[in-house]
């Protein structure tokens, strides 16, 4: 009887919430981390209230409390991130918006902006992390991630443009080969007179495509410019943040914002996360990756890989796995795997990763200082 009463109470609460917000049905449970912003925890609180008013079931992982959202109390940033991962893995939340997260190689984020020329929303693929260690492969995989994200947000047939950066023409050739092999991709046309799917700076401003493909470091700069061009850069005021980490088989829904992102961007990012949950982004991702593979994705990528130097005959075995909580930055992405191998050779377990500021080699706290010495001696860091 008590269980029935709880179900009835929940039903009435859902109806009341739907009448208040205009959104009926189960609300996605989205967390936001409160500590670490350059604008203080009050910034996350303001954003959480805004998102809650739009129908998102918000949890703040931090110290502040408010009747509009739930709070999970933590004492510092380290505890905050551990709690975030625990809640994601247990299913207590569907997704989280945070200001820093080291995604593994193969996962990078799809940003979302409002273009200044026509106020159109556009997805930037991609903005943090890296989809692959090699540039052209990363841009090809960024395209798929962008399509997945746009479709999950309700864009049925997203148009794809490729920003005119190094590798754009190789990426174009690869994508058109996938299209010819049956992968359903819709190319945009540049707003410039000569057209084509390779986009210019003008196309960024007017939003000539739904998904703008680029490398993640360029994408990161574009996000910062598009979100703070009216504020001088210290406060990101426009857009939806740097977006969700997307990669084949990756399950955690983590959306990145900057430490300079203001409350409007954080609130939009939480709404962005809720849209992805409602849009069944994981199901869309599985279908898109399957379709791309059926069209020969791996062969298309392999055909465009640079010629490698003659491989060393030495086989380096991976040491026993350890928990990696320390990291070393400043290593070129093309040297990342070699740097990991150098540490393995010294019997130090290490993994490659990508943080908000670039490539990382991660190892245990106990091995950090020794790893720095080895990487310096090998010329990977200065």
- Residues assigned a catalytic role: 356
Of 103, 154, 157, whose CA–CA distance to 127 is shortest? 103
DSSP H helical ranges for the chain: 2-21, 41-53, 77-90, 135-152, 168-180, 201-206, 216-228, 263-278, 281-294, 297-302, 336-345, 368-377
Residue in the block written with tokens 């493909």? 213
Between CA 211 and CA 144 the distance in angstroms is 10
What are the residues facing 293 on neighbouring strands?
none
Calculate the alpha carbon distances from 342 to 123, 349, 375 in Å. Answer: 37, 10, 8
Beta bridge partners of 256: 98, 243
* Alpha-carbon gap, residue 123 to 97, rounded angstroms: 17
Strand partners, 212: 124, 161
Query: Nearest-CA neighbor of 259 among 55, 106, 92, 77?
Result: 77
């Amino acid at each position: 009887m008590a269980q029935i009463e709880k179900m009835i109470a929940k039903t009435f609460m859902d109806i009341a919430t739907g009448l208040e917000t205009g959104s009926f049905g189960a609300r996605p449970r989205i967390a936001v981390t409160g500590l670490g912003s350059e604008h203080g925890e009050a910034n996350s609180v303001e954003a959480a209230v805004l998102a809650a008013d739009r129908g998102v079931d918000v949890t703040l992982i931090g110290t502040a409390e408010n009747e509009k959202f739930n709070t999970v109390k933590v004492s510092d940033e380290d505890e905050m991130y551990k709690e975030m991962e625990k809640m994601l893995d247990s299913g207590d939340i569907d997704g989280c918006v945070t200001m820093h997260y080291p995604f593994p190689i193969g996962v990078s984020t799809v940003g979302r902006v409002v273009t200044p020329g026509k106020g159109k929303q556009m997805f930037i693929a991609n903005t943090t992390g890296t989809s692959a260690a090699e540039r052209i492969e990363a841009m090809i995989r960024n395209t798929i991630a962008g399509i997945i994200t746009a479709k999950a947000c309700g864009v049925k047939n997203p148009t794809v443009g490729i920003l005119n950066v190094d590798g754009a023409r190789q990426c174009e050739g690869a994508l058109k080969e996938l299209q010819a092999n049956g992968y359903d991709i819709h190319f945009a046309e540049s707003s410039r007179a000569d057209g084509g799917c390779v986009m210019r700076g003008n196309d960024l401003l007017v939003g000539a495509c739904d998904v703008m493909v680029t490398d993640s470091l360029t994408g990161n700069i574009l996000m910062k410019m598009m979100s703070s061009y009216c504020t001088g850069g210290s406060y990101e005021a426009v857009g939806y943040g740097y977006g969700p980490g997307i990669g084949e088989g990756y399950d955690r829904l983590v959306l990145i914002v900057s430490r300079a992102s203001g409350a409007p961007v954080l609130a939009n990012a939480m709404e962005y996360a809720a849209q992805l949950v409602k849009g069944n982004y994981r199901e869309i991702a599985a279908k898109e990756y399957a379709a791309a593979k059926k069209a020969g994705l791996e062969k298309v990528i392999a055909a465009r890989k640079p010629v490698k130097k003659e491989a060393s005959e030495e086989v380096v075995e991976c040491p026993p796995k350890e928990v990696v909580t320390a990291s070393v930055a400043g290593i070129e992405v093309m040297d990342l795997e070699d740097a990991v191998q150098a540490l393995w050779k010294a019997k130090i377990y290490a993994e490659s990763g990508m943080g908000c500021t670039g490539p990382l080699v991660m190892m245990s706290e106990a091995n950090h200082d020794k790893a720095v010495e080895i990487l310096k001696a090998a010329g990977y860091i200065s």
